[in-house]
Homo-oligomer: A and B are copies of this chain.
Amino acid sequence: MTLAFSLQRILEMLPAEVETVGDFSGNITGIASLGSAAAGDLSFLGNHKYRAQVAGSKASVILLPQDYSGEPASGQTYLKVARPSFALALICREIEQLLQPPPVPGIHPSAVVHPSATVSPEASIGPLCVVEAGAVVDAAAVLESQVHVGQHARIGSGARLFARVVVGDYCQIGPRNRLLPGCVIGSDGYGYEFLDGSYQRVPQVGNVVTAADVDIGANTTIDRARFGSTCIGAGTKIDNQVQIAHNVRIGQHCLLVAQVGISGSTEIGDGVVIGGQAGVAGHLHIGDGAMIAGAASIVKSVPPGSKMRGSPATEMVLQNRIIVLQRKLPELFKRFDQLEKPTESLA
């Protein structure tokens, strides 16, 4: 990508309250981290960890928090804003629109759309997509390429389905959802009954329903309900390779980081954050606002606002203490051996 934004143009993308310090007067031609930026680059301080790198950064323009006290070098400009990371996001939003112009509405001639499907004239159906019987694709939805939309499924307005997404029969995708490449919505739930020496499949006749503004990561899988719906609440953001089993209900504005697994029928409240590779067993309830650390295994229900860690998980404060003490076990056993000896000699 080639990029050339004047400082004036950058300021137009940001909220009004920006304190400008310095004398940079060229074009911004790239974005880079503090440590790797060169002249012409915009950079930012988004994580306190990197504060010491600001002074030496070669970036021409740096987005900084309002309390940053240093001075820019000659030919460099500091932009002090309430939230440097969000300010950068606003600039990147404009760059993204330049890089990825919205697709033209219409159906690519190589797509296979069933005559009984309903596709809005404002929707875009890319090459080699399949839209099955009775499916509905709402206005301004985009199916990028090689997407599969099953029978009687519905894709909400403004949703974007990237390459190779699968939406199974009868599933409903909410408005403005972003479904990243390879994710599978509405695969069969995993349910069997053991009978006469073998596992009999329990048919899964429910669906998956996602509310508005849900993002679903690449190669993530969300199973259809045994009956009723597997539900994802509004504004919830799911990362790559997450597995969500049948009849799970996830609330609003949750974050599920990569490789998390949620077992069947578990309910997750609003505003829950679950770290990467964590797992939650089935038929549990995770209260609103709970935070679950990466790699944790949750095997009991969790009250609202809890912070959990470990496998199996405990309250984080206890787990942190356990972790410290485990590392002292060699010392403890040694002290213990020494303690036993004199005691025995006393006997």
Contact = CB atoms under 8 A, between A and B. Distances in A.
A162 interface: yes
Interface in A175-196: 178, 180-182, 184, 187-188, 190-193, 195
Given A184-B219, A295-B297, A190 B240 contact: yes
Interface string A193-211: 1010111111111000000
A36 B146 CA distance: 37
Pick the most buried of A128, A204, A283, A321: most chain B CB atoms within 10 A of its CB.
A128
Contacts of A243: 239-241, 258-259, 276
Q: How large is the interface on A (under 10, 10 to 19, 20 to 34, 35 or more residues)?
A: 35 or more
Contacts of A57: none
Contact of A330 (B108, B195, B321, B346): B321
Contacts of A227: 30-32, 92
A96 interface: yes
Interface stretch (A62-70, A81-89, A117-125): A81-89
B221 A187 contact: no
Interface string A18-48: 0000000000001111001000000000010
A281 interface: yes
A213 interface: yes
A228 B31 contact: yes
A146 to B, nearest CB: 6
A148 B112 CA distance: 17
A17 interface: no
Pick the most buried of A130, A204, A228: most chain B CB atoms within 10 A of its CB.
A130
B330 A219 contact: no
Interface stretch (A4-12, A135-143, A164-172): A164-172
A278 B263 CA distance: 13
A156 interface: no
Given A188-B178, A237-B199, A294-B279, A169 B100 contact: yes
Contacts of A329: 321-322, 325-326
Contacts of A295: 279, 297, 311
Given A192-B237, A195-B86, A199-B253, A281 B294 contact: yes
Contacts of A30: 227
B86 A112 contact: no
B99 A49 contact: no
A203 B89 contact: yes
A181 B170 contact: no
14 contacts: A33-B247, A49-B283, A89-B193, A89-B201, A93-B203, A112-B127, A148-B181, A164-B184, A166-B182, A182-B221, A184-B240, A223-B240, A240-B243, A342-B343
